[in-house]
Structure 1
Amino acid sequence: MRVDVFCRVVDNFGDIGVCWRLARQLTAEGWPVRLWVDDLASFARLERRLSARLPAQSIDNVEILQWTLPAPDVLPHEIVIEAFACDPPPAFVHRMQDMVQRPIWLNLEYLSAESWIDTCHGLPSPQPNGIVKTFFFPGFTETSGGLLREAGLLAERDALQADPHAQANFLARLDLPARLPGERLVTLFCYPDAPASVLARELANAATPTLLVIPEGVAPYLGAGQRGSLRIARTPFVAPPDYDRLLWCADLNFVRGEDSFIRAHWAGRPMVWHIYPQDDAAHVDKLSAWLGRCALPSHAHDIHLGWNGETTLEGFAEQLRYALQPEPWAAWTRRARAWSDALAAQSDLVARLRRLCESRRQ
């Protein structure tokens, strides 16, 4: 079946990151996709092959349309996915209503580890126009919508992580400095309120040297160069497949939002999540739910709380100093890989989406 995916780039890059990965995976598995995006300039920062000036183009066999006002008048495909309740254009929805066989309409929700999503995943939401919209909740359990994971991804990861020479060649291709013997590699992708200065201070004072890789525009007050045991290197935003490889090469990944958060799981390495802050502090419940599911060692658990402003900065620094010591670091590393392996044993998001759509079509 053919698929329409609608994406509004609200802020940052998580929404378009998720939608672009979804569109490419669906297409790779034989489902023709038309991806609607309102902000092509932001999209182009993640996908360098995209032209922000072309209202219609194709990349990796995905048809990409600029979502304008008014929107292009086209016939809806058999499956319509609105990402994060973005609401397709009214004229497009009217077209859906008039079709003899109405499309399967899915609302791809935000990822959460909270238990309530398991009971809401797959529930119908009848609309006033008579079309039924279905909730699709990505998650960490068998009864949720699962996580995006491309075919062959983990085999590719394992091959790269087992080959130091291939890792060195990849980092050189990104114009990053070569890792020194015994040097730890850490990536940093965070929101502006993260205590990145405290992180840099602790890494600079650590016994083990660290190469810290930061994308352009993130924590701009941390300049490139050497400070104590820490080297800081800046990198432009890279294509999603290369970002995956960067996470695989790293020993520790600081990630934010949703897209990089999911991808850090597939690295199978220690990670620290900077969850998107919400005014009503709902993000604290989401963070706690995820921490409860992945069952990290207590020091890694407390680092997450400190990184997200739930404990003091000195408490965060103390837990980080402890976590980087050999024994607690080994425990964190083992747990990170076990958690990744447990999730990999489940079916992926596209496989579950396929089952749901096929059951709706029968």
Structure 2
Amino acid sequence: MQIKSVDIFCEIIDNFGDIGVVYRVAKELKKIYNNQVKIRVILNRIDEFLSINPSAKNLEIQEIDGICYCTYEYIKKNMCTFSTANVIIEAFGCTIPEEYMNVAYNNSDLILNLEYLSAEDWVEDFHLQESILGKGKLRKFFFMPGFTEKTGGIITDSLYLDRITKVKNNLSEYRKKYLKNIDNYDNKLIGTIFTYEKNFAPLMRDLKKLDREVALLAMGEKTQESFKEFFKKNFVEKLGNIYKYGKIEIEFYDFLSQEEYEELINVVDFNFVRGEDSFIRAVLTGKPYLWHIYCQKEFIHMDKLQGFLDKYRAQVQGQIAEDILLNQEKLFKDYNFRNENTLDEGKEEFSNFFHNLNEIERVNSLYKDFLILNCNLINKIKDFIEKF
């Protein structure tokens, strides 16, 4: 099927992850099709998009880099002059306005329900299964991101891969740009920390044991508030936006654009990330990372985490010492074991992680290469639509 136009719907709830994914998909589709395909992103609200894209304005409709961004309210008020796209992407099971769908049933051809990322085995069975709509000519299919060739893959967009190469080729320049507030940064272990609510006592305990100075870049309100709780119980020096705890310094980073964040995580030595969007960005750096997975009731998130660990093991087993791999798996589980986000102290131990950073990075680079080669979500979407 020829792709003439694509409408991507995103219903933002309480974080930047959903719009982060949608923004990447839209930009990559625009790069692939240039001006041959009209691409629109339709958001239930604009606030989070204003934060991740400094070019965005608080308008109901605007064009940025050849992509149209508009709000649900705009299309509700203007459906009489607003034609539906022949391809619709429904991000994460969002609710598309009824006014739009009433027209789309007969005027559009295909709708893809782009689901959340999961590594569980059942994803392969549901990927590209049809959901019967029962009216009009419009057909709907589930598109399930994942970590195997039989799933929808992950967003390995060329824009990000190009940015990684640019940072690596100009590392000194980018380190000056992002680490300018850290004295003697070339001799320090540096990492980004982006989490939900988290007790950082175990992390700080194990970092103190290292024989080198450490700098942590604390990203996001919840991360910074969690560090403040640690500071209340421990003596720290505060120098502007930097807190010093012995040989560890923590810098509270201001909010970055999506592109700036992608540069930063390729500058540092390791990344602790949260959710889905920043997790995949960290995986594609090939650097050591730790994932704070989104917490769900009845420990459902632990099943999803185990699914990822199983897929990771399947690709790297035999290429890394078994004791290092086992310690990695234990750390991921201990770091995430919770029934709700609290500041309770966990059982995680980080010493093995930091003592094996070079080996972990070597193997993570191999895993990254596998995903780029076999699990490119954008290419899989493009191929499915064109063959539809």
Both structures adopt the same fold (TM-score exceeding 0.5) = yes
Instruction: Rate the CA distance shift 1:265–1:26 in 2: closer, same or farther, 3 A.
Output: same
Change over 3 Å in CA distance of 1:162–1:218 after alignment to 2: farther
Shift of 1:205: 4.0
CA distance in 1, matches of 2:266, 2:51: 21
User: 1:257-276, aligned counterparts within 5 Å?
Assistant: 257-276=275-294
Q: SS in structure 1 opposite 2:70? A: strand
Following superposition, the deviation at residue 244 of structure 1 comes to 1.1
Matched residue type, 2:354 = L
Task: Indicate conservation of the 8 Å contact 1:185/1:250, yes or no.
Answer: yes
Aligned positions of 1:224-243 closer than 5 A = 224-243=242-261
Aligned partner (choices 191, 200, 203) of residue 204 of structure 2: 200
Does the 8 Å contact 1:195/1:307 carry over to 2?
no
Distance 1:239 1:264, change over 3 A: same
Structure 2 residue aligned with 1:348 = 376
The 5 A counterparts of 1:311-326 are: 313=345, 315-317=347-349, 320-325=350-355
Root-mean-square deviation (CA), in Å?
2.1
Matched residue, 1:218: 222
Which residue number corresponds to residue 194 of structure 2? 189
One-letter amino acid of the structure 1 residue matched with residue 288 of structure 2: P
Deviation string, structure 1 residues 145-176 (Cα, Å, up to 9, x no partner): 1111222643542442354412323315xx64
1:88 equivalent to 2:92? Answer: no
2:95 partner letter: D
The change in CA–CA distance for 1:86 and 1:261 in structure 2 (over 3 A counts) is same
In the other structure, the counterpart of 1:305 is 333
Structure with the larger RCO, 1 or 2 (CA within 8 Å, 6+ apart):
2
Taking the aligned partners of 2:375 and 2:306, their CA distance within structure 1 comes to 24
Contact 2:160 2:262 in 1 (8 A): no
Distance 1:276 1:347, change over 3 A: closer
Match of 1:28 in 2: 31
Matched, 1:98 2:106: yes
The separation in 2 between residues aligned to 1:301 and 1:203, in whole angstroms, is 19
In the TM superposition, what is the alpha-carbon distance from 1:221 to its structure 2 partner? 4.1
User: How far is 1:225 from its partner?
Assistant: 1.6
Higher helix fraction: Structure 1 or Structure 2?
2
Query: Contact conserved, 1:97 with 1:129, CA < 8 A, in 2?
Result: yes
Q: 1:68 aligns with which of 73, 77, 101?
A: 73
Runs of 4+ in 1 over 4 A off after TM superposition: 310-314
Task: State the shift of 1:51 in Å.
Answer: 1.5
Q: Does 1:59 align with 2:64?
A: yes
SS at match of 1:58: strand
* Superposition deviation, residue 294 in structure 1: 1.0
Query: Structure 1 residues 283, 353: closer, same or farther in 2, change over 3 A?
Result: same
Q: Answer yes or no: is the 8 Å Cα contact 2:145–2:154 preserved in 1.
A: yes
1:47, distance to aligned residue in structure 2 (A): 1.3
Equivalences, count: 350
Shift of 1:93: 0.8
Question: 2:320 aligns to what?
Answer: none
1:109 aligned partner: 115
Q: Which residue type is aligned with residue 324 of structure 1?
A: F
Which range is displaced more, 234-243 or 306-315? 306-315
Once the two structures are superposed, what CA deviation does each residue of 1:51-81 show, in whole Å capped at 9, x if it has no partner? 22x1011112110001128454111011111
Shift of 1:353: 0.6
Call closer, same or farther: CA 1:208–1:260 in 2, change over 3 Å. same
The aligned amino acid for 1:96 is A
Q: Deviations over 1:26-73 (max 9, x none)?
A: 111113211011121122111122122x10111121100011284541
1:7 to 7, 10, 26: 10
For the residues of structure 1 that align with 2:119 and 2:210, how far apart are their CA atoms? 33
| 36-45 or 223-232, larger mean C-alpha shift | 223-232
Deviation at 1:240, TM superposition (A): 1.2
User: 1:89 offset after TM fit, Å?
Assistant: 0.9
Helix, strand or coil at the partner of 2:282? helix
Other structure's SS at 1:345 match: helix
- Could you say what secondary structure the match of 1:280 adopts? helix
For the residue of structure 2 that corresponds to 1:269, the secondary structure is coil
Secondary structure of the residue aligned to 1:242 is helix
Structure 1 residue 12: Cα displacement:
1.3
Distance 1:197-1:36 versus aligned 2 partners, 3 A rule? farther
Identity of aligned residues (%): 27
Helix, strand or coil at the partner of 1:291? helix
**2-side partners of 1:124 and 1:236: how far apart?**
43
Structure 2 residues without counterparts, runs of 5 or longer: 229-241, 317-324
Instruction: Flag structure 1 segments of 5+ consecutive residues without an equivalent.
Output: none
